[in-house]
Amino acid sequence: MAELVAEHERLRGHHARARGDDLRHLPVQQAQRGSRHRQQRGPSQRAAERAGEVTGFFIGREAANEAEVLNLAVMPKFRRQGDGRALLSAALEEIRSRGVQSVFLEVRESNLGAIAFYESFGFSKIGRRKIYYQDPEEAAINMEKKLTGPPG
């Protein structure tokens, strides 16, 4: 799975701010909170498998009552077969069970497939970060899903 993550990071050309465990990448609302309220969990990850082969992975993290999707990818040959949906559904269910109220993520502005995927889960566009990604340089779309309503 480490190789799959590394390959996805390379393809994604993720901005340096998204690397490592520092809190600068976390949503603004969260970064502004006092450390007294911050209870950060280590990164959580899960993988999807078919016949012993890893087909995709999810990496996220939580602090206080907010969570963030850091990475989610399905191997190209397994896309549009429901693995991404299964991974994100399971992750959201677990996140919700811990009382998290909002989930945030960033996605490349040109990644219309992923944006459609997240919108199908009820994520909404809440902002745009200019020149957020490198290699190639591109804006990020910020998305949020609130978990305070009924599951879905």
Ligand X SMILES: CC(C)(COP(=O)(O)OP(=O)(O)OC[C@H]1O[C@@H](n2cnc3c(N)ncnc32)[C@H](O)[C@@H]1OP(=O)(O)O)[C@@H](O)C(=O)NCCC(=O)NCCS
Could you give the residue numbers annotated as active site?
106, 118
The binder of ligand X chosen from 116, 136, 148, 150 (CB under 6 A) = 116
- State the sign of the Cα–Cα–Cα–Cα dihedral 48, 1, 56, 26: positive
Environment class of 9 (CB within 10 Å of its CB; exposed 0-12, middle 13-18, buried 19+): middle
Which residue lies nearer to ligand X by CB, 58 or 66?
58
- Cα radius of gyration (the chain): 15
| H helix runs in 1-152, sequence order | 2-12, 28-31, 83-97, 112-119
Count of residues interacting with ligand X (CB under 6 A):
18
Is 139 a binding residue for ligand X by CB under 6 A? The answer is: no
Which residue lies nearer to ligand X by CB, 74 or 147?
74
Looking at beta carbons, which residue is closest to ligand X? 84
Phi, psi angles (nearest 5°) of residue 117:
-60, -50
Is 114 a binding residue for ligand X by CB under 6 A? The answer is: yes
Interface residues toward ligand X, by CB under 6 A: 71-74, 79-85, 107, 111, 113-114, 116-117, 120
